[in-house]
Amino acid sequence: MKTNFSIEFELILEDCLDRISKGESLESCLEKYPEQAAHLKELLILAGNIHQLPIPAARPSAVASGKQKMLAELQAVQQPQPVSSFNFSRYIKQTISFLLGKEDFQMKPILRPIIALLLVCVIGGTLAVNVSARSIPGDSMYSFKRTWENLRLAFTISEKTRTVLEEQLKLERHQEIQTLIENHQKAVLQYTGVLRAMKAHQWLVDDLWVKIEDRLIIEGHPKVGDLVEITIETEEDGMLILIKISVVESAVEIIPGEAEPGDEGWPEDPSVWVTPIPYWETYQPNEWRTLVPTEYQTLVPTDLMLTIVPTQYQTYIPEDLNTIPTLVQTLIPTWVPPVNATNWPTLIPPTWPTDAPLPQPTQLPPVIQTLVPPDIQTMIPPDWPDIDPEDYTTEIPEFIETMILPPNWP
């Protein structure tokens, strides 16, 4: 808060400054205001000193340069800025450059619309694929999902990759069917698999039992072992109704006893051999192997077991190839062979391979080693055979038997 004294002093100071600027002396000003003279004098001298400060001036070159700089800026501002016009070709080039991470990417202009179309298809397709990934039969996006799957299969050249992809798609179909059954949802879907069994009212495709009805449409002559494409309908009660079946690939017919693996005309693809085998055969070898007694198992080298049960034997063709096993479950061997059975398979008893070397102990038992005193050489009788101390570890047991121990032996 300013006091009256302060306001008065400001006026006095201003008056003195004004007087001095008009040529009056400092002393005459101070005489006029004797009460404030002391403080007034200090401020007036200070003001005089400030007034003595030089007025700096920029160099003429700097003044001219500053002016030019300002005018150049004015020109830059006034110049109309180029407005980016719609340039389809340039945008595509920028997009591809961005995707490739190459700023200097060059491309023929004629290719740009084609690339643009492809990009739209790829990006749009990717979005649609992602959206449709979780759709199930009956959903609007399901047809897109299946189309995409077929496209993937069509463009998968590697056989190995295609096999993996087909397995994935089979799992996907199973998942879809499971979802439909859980939701008690009625829907139609296609499935491709191997026809495993054909009963009067039910057929088995892979591991799906499908019900046969009068409306079934059959294309070709499906038989067990054929690769078939089926159209099934899920019912609200969880039943799968077979609507249509068509043979995609017929199984190779093998007449039992007339050919063996390796014969001329025998298919090289092992998967073809496996398909016609009834289920019970696949249970046999693995179940039996686990029944081998533990002690025998440890004695049998792993590779020996493999040679005893050759892999290709599992693919033996049964005599009645096309006979459908009606009681599949009962054919699974439930009998557990006794450990000491005399009629044990050729695995038991195992014999050590004749050409395999017998195990050779490399060290003496620790007990014997501890009985040998460290200074044994000094206690050896004069007629003791001259033995290299390095051989003690292997020769000691025989010596100990014939050795007369001295009375002070530990």
Partner 1 sequence: MTSNETILVQRAKNGDANALVEIYETNQPTIYTYVFYRVGDVHLAEDLTAEVFVRMIHKLKTYQPNSRPILAWLYTIAHNLVVDHYRENGKATWTELKEDQSAIESDVFKRSNENCLAQIDLVHALKTLTEEQRLVIVLKFIEGRKNIEIAEILNKSEGAIKSLQHRALNSLKRALENDEEYYEYENEFQH
Chain contacts with partner 1 (rule: CB under 8 A) = 2, 6, 9-11, 13-14, 17, 21, 42-43, 46-47, 49-59, 62-63, 65-67, 69-71, 73-74, 77-78
CA-based angle 70:75:76, to the nearest 5?
Answer: 95
Smallest distance, partner 1 to C-beta of residue 85, A: 25
Specify the residue, 54 or 357, whose C-beta has the smaller distance to partner 1.
Answer: 54
Specify the residue, 63 or 339, whose C-beta has the smaller distance to partner 1.
Answer: 63
Specify the residue, 52 or 302, whose C-beta has the smaller distance to partner 1.
Answer: 52
CA-based angle 359:364:366, to the nearest 5?
Answer: 125
Smallest distance, partner 1 to C-beta of residue 21, A: 8
Smallest distance, partner 1 to C-beta of residue 108, A: 43
Sign of CA dihedral 280, 283, 285, 287: negative
Smallest distance, partner 1 to C-beta of residue 113, A: 42
Smallest distance, partner 1 to C-beta of residue 34, A: 19
Type of residue numbered 45: I
Specify the residue, 6 or 312, whose C-beta has the smaller distance to partner 1.
Answer: 6
Smallest distance, partner 1 to C-beta of residue 59, A: 7
Sign of CA dihedral 280, 281, 283, 288: positive
**Per the structure block, which two tokens stand in for 36?**
């404030």
DSSP run (H or E) holding 213:
strand 208-219
Specify the residue, 60 or 349, whose C-beta has the smaller distance to partner 1.
Answer: 60
Taking residue 273's Cβ as centre, other Cβ atoms within 10 Å add up to 19
Q: Where does residue 29 rank: exposed (0-12), middle (13-18), buried (19+ CB within 10 A)?
A: buried
Rounded to whole angstroms, the Cα distance separating 245 from 226 reads: 11
Sign of CA dihedral 381, 382, 383, 384: positive
Specify the residue, 9 or 203, whose C-beta has the smaller distance to partner 1.
Answer: 9
Q: Which residues contact 180 (CB under 8 A, 6 or more apart)?
A: 136, 137, 138, 186, 187, 189, 234
Specify the residue, 40 or 254, whose C-beta has the smaller distance to partner 1.
Answer: 40
Specify the residue, 24 or 167, whose C-beta has the smaller distance to partner 1.
Answer: 24
Rounded to whole angstroms, the Cα distance separating 320 from 326 reads: 13
Sign of CA dihedral 66, 68, 72, 78: positive
Smallest distance, partner 1 to C-beta of residue 52, A: 6
Rounded to whole angstroms, the Cα distance separating 145 from 151 reads: 10
Smallest distance, partner 1 to C-beta of residue 39, A: 9
